[in-house]
Chains A and B, each alone.
Chain A
Amino acid sequence: MLTAAIFIPIVAAVVLALLPRGAPRATLDVAVQPDGGSDSTPPGGAGGSVAGAPAPPSMLRDTHPAQEAARARERRMQAAATAVAAVPLLILALAWLRFEGTGGFELVEAAEWIPTLGIGYRVGLDGLSLPLAAMTALVFVVATAYPVDLRGRPAPYFALMLFLEGASIGLFLALDLFLFFVFWDVSLVAMYFLIGAWGHGDAQRSALKFFVYTFAGSLPLLLAILGLYLTTDPRTFDMAEIIAQQPLAGSGLYASLVFAGFFVGFAIKTPLVPFHTWLPPAHVDAPAPASAVLAGVLLKMGTYGFVRILMAMMPDAFARFAFPLAILAVVAIIYGALVALAQTNLKRLIAYTSVNHMGYVILGLAAAGAGIGGHEAAQAIALTGATLEMVAHGLITGALFLISGSILARGGTYEMDEYGGLAGRARFLTAATVLAAFASLGLPGLAGFVAEFQVFAGALAVYPWLAGAGLVGIVVTAALFLRMLQKLLLGPLPTRWSRFPDLARVEIAGLAALLLMVVLIGVYPAWLLDVIDSFAGPLVGR
């Protein structure tokens, strides 16, 4: 069942990528006389001149009916892709109904893959991966359906989105370190192409920075996985088996090195200050749905790794480094908030609030993993809060980035000073923006509040001073979101925006789906907290 949730979108993506192209290809299949391999000239010399032949004029296909047809084709493709993207959501909803909350891995599916090296195809879920996978599926459905400038290449765009969806869900469901790493790496390759080909601004440069930086994180991760693997006996990449073996229990230089490898890998992905510099350009230059996925889903891979691998497989090492980790988290909280406050660019502002929110998550995790006795109850609350924050941030920031995409599509810029008074002009846009912003700043009754309250309630018991300092971040975040709302929505409406269109139906439906979940979790979080508690309690009480 879970395998279908991973591979239905991936297979659909491959099919979509291999589909024969439409009209533009036809002009290219001009027959050219082969000229290769004469004794005197290697084809290398001659190839250039042939390639330089003038292209036949391709203006013909820009006529109006053809454009209409192309647009209809894009719409059909988008509808089909959205339908495929919804399949994993349905499957995960079914899995939710069948989930029992035993504390172990459930609905496990396993097969031999590379037994020589102890690698298996193993997927399953627990109270940590189920909410994250479900959130991932929801964000992807909305992101796939959301309108975007396809640059005349719909098939590869939707193929990459679906591929990324399968890989992201696979990462959260993988119960094998090797499989985890496979999904980790392919997801960043897919994101690289999404940013590079459909981004704006200096997209290629941002994409390259993203690729190099996050790949630089995945290599220490690979070395750490190898380091952990080499200590298992019998050798295996099986997560459940490694958690049971605890091969690096106790301290030691080797364990610290392995910890360092994992830490760098996850800290870059999360991202923790000072490993965050890839994030702002990638978020700003990516197309809005990709930004939503990047912030909503891909960042969670880092924090998920902190819990799934570092806390569960090397709790001793984690406890030893929990305090410095908490300090880094507080730095990220305050730094992210302050830098976000200084932004005039809407998307950059949201990007930096991600740094701030991921700080909350890490603070909660550090408190939960700290090796001090007597605080198990508070630590469980912190872990539950951190997990909930991952889900809430995925929904809220996903919505915020999609909104920024809608604003860009209408106004052509992210500069907040260019706007104003939109509240009187675009009601749905205003409602969505206000709701998402308040959720992000932690208004009670919305998902962000539940999560942040638990993180700080837990952290105050473990690291009272650090948690107190972190509260500053909440205040600054509130200020910056209120300022953002004021700049965008209030004040006089510039005359050139007097025809500013409101959100279209697809946009309203997508944002409503995300924000409804935000309200639901905020008002009645018990159904979600029960699931999360089923893993958080046992993990902390170890």
Chain B
Amino acid sequence: MNGADAAHGTDMSAMIADVLPEVLLVIGAIAVLLFALFAPRRMQAGAALLALATVVLSAAATISMLGNPEYLTFAGTYARDGVALWGTLIVLSATAAAIGLSVPWFRRDPRHGEYYTLLLFSALGAVLLAGASDLKQFVLAMVLSSATGFVLVGYHRRSSPASEAAIKYYLLGAFTSASMLIGVALLFGLAGSTTLTVLDGMPVAGGISDQAALVLPLVLVVMALAFKIGAVPAHAWMPDVAQGAPAPAAAFVTTVPKIGGFIFLARLVEALPGDAVDWRLLVALLATATMTLGNLAALWQDDVRRLLGWSSVSQTGYGLLAIVALGSSDLAIPSLLFFLLAYALGNVAAFGVVVELRGRTRLDDYAGLARSRPWLAGALAIAFLSFIGVPPLAGFFAKLVLFGAAIEAGYTWLAVVGAVNTVVSIVYYVRVLAPAYFGDRVAPVPVLGRWAAVATFMMTGAVILAGVAAEPFLRAFAGVGIVLE
């Protein structure tokens, strides 16, 4: 118990107020479920409105907490710091857009009300992950996020690609969950407590340095986080899910859990004692492997959704640069948050275009898109150029601060690897854009509906806006930290 806990961790009503955004999500998810149970089939779409209102309320509650002093609540197990709150906001924005994309997609599905419950619970899992400052809390959040994710991916029960993707996602998730549980158990045994704070000041016992003994459990836990964020070696689900899952669910599952996972990873390495474990090098190697593999694999894809999945893997690799720089560069936390923001906006926008095009995914289907659907082609181009890192789009600022953080942390070579990978990535993004813009095919291209278009264009606009007007975000991100005490 410390001062912060005394102030914020004892009074029950104060503690509930600390987690108001999360509580709202739970209440909203249950309300959606009840609505879906009792509402007639033709009114199932009302569940989407209910879910959207929940997300908006939860976001409003989160925004009202921004700028408060940063502290831990619930006896040091849950962080109320700027990183967690901004992570929550990014999760909620992506969730809101995913709801918009889902409405026309599932319109003909008579039982899709409960889909939104799953979406909300999955978002809650990511939010809890972003705030978790305790290993048990971490396990809970991971399981909540994964379990709902499996169902979302397999939601089209009779579609075999969706089932295949769900099975692969589930198997990989089960393996890494097991490793996570073993790792957490070992850490608990070593430290005698599950709060992250305890890791920092770990005692040395029995003649063996406990710090060296940390390595195995940490590797096991990081394995589970690698699954969550789509990093090597547990990245394999990403392309399958991107290709096979219902497109709006793919947009959600390749974006939202990653945000929570990244923030918990940042919290975990911040809590590690001293320099006992050379985790920087380990993460740097993971980053190198992840972006290189993601980019090389994406080069050969003829399926746009699968390509987006591999592109997500490579983006994870860039994001890991922020983790490497944590604690040795002022730019580390701003770069992490800005990366997550830019990635979430760009990724949902890109999947949004696929959704609005009724899920068409063969590369050939995109030929001549700029003539038949200039606005959608433009949205796709902006999302891709942002992934490449063309200024003044959001993705460019993300890369700017990521590379800056890596150089400042003394990992210039990693920034160079990131730059080389960026050049490689141009080739596959252009493989989609070139036929879309230079192709002459003129054929009617049916689209899905207004909701998906609005969500897509709002995300696309945000990609531009977060780049041109990056200042408020960067200033906010520069003022937040990760609280461990």
Contacts and interface: CB of A to CB of B under 8 A. Distances in A.
Interface string B394-410: 00100111011001100
Interface string A221-243: 01100110110000000000000
Interface in A1-38: 21, 24, 27-28, 30, 32, 34-38
B400 A226 contact: yes
Given A40-B158, A208-B427, A51 B360 contact: yes
Contact of B104 (A34, A182, A215, A257): A34
Contacts, number: 172
Interface string B369-406: 00110100000000001001011100010011101100
A279 B123 CA distance: 49
A245 interface: no
A32 B446 contact: yes
A216 interface: yes
Nearest to B435: A204
Interface residues of A, number: 58
A62 interface: no
Contact of B159 (A30, A42, A53): A42
A36 B427 contact: no
A46 B430 CA distance: 26
Contacts of B420: 219
B35 interface: no
A45 interface: yes
Residue of A36, A38, A114, A193 with most partner-chain B CB within 10 A: A36
Contacts of A196: 434, 437-438
B426 A117 contact: no
Interface string B353-374: 0000111111001000001101
B246 to A, nearest CB: 6
Interface in A41-64: 41-48, 50-51, 53, 55-56, 58
A99 B57 CA distance: 57
A220 B445 contact: no
A212 B427 contact: yes
A116 interface: yes
Given A37-B106, A51-B443, A45 B419 contact: no
Interface in A110-154: 112-117
Given A36-B359, A115-B471, A230-B408, A28 B442 contact: yes
A161 to B, nearest CB: 16
Interface stretch (B46-54, B76-84, B107-115, B172-180): B107-115
B453 to A, nearest CB: 13
Given A193-B437, A196-B434, A223-B419, A47 B443 contact: no
B232 to A, nearest CB: 22
A226 B404 contact: yes
A411 to B, nearest CB: 25
B246 A42 contact: yes
B474 A117 contact: yes
A34 B404 CA distance: 47
Interface in B439-457: 442-446, 448-449
Contacts of B365: 47-48, 51
Given A196-B437, A212-B426, A222-B400, A40 B444 contact: no
A516 interface: no
A197 B438 contact: yes
A181 interface: yes
Interface of A: 21, 24, 27-28, 30, 32, 34-48, 50-51, 53, 55-56, 58, 112-117, 181-182, 185-186, 189, 193, 196-197, 203-204, 207-208, 211-212, 215-216, 219-220, 222-223, 226-227, 229-230, 257
Given A42-B246, A219-B419, A226-B407, 5 more contacts: A24-B442, A36-B359, A55-B442, A114-B474, A223-B403
Interface of B: 104-112, 156-159, 161-162, 246-247, 305, 357-362, 365, 371-372, 374, 385, 388, 390-392, 396, 399-401, 403-404, 407-408, 412, 415-416, 419-420, 422-423, 426-427, 430, 434, 437-438, 442-446, 448-449, 470-471, 474-475, 478
29 contacts: A28-B445, A36-B104, A36-B107, A37-B104, A37-B107, A39-B157, A39-B158, A40-B158, A41-B159, A43-B105, A43-B358, A44-B359, A44-B361, A45-B359, A48-B365, A53-B443, A112-B471, A115-B475, A116-B471, A181-B391, A189-B385, A196-B437, A204-B434, A211-B430, A220-B419, A223-B412, A226-B403, A229-B404, A230-B408
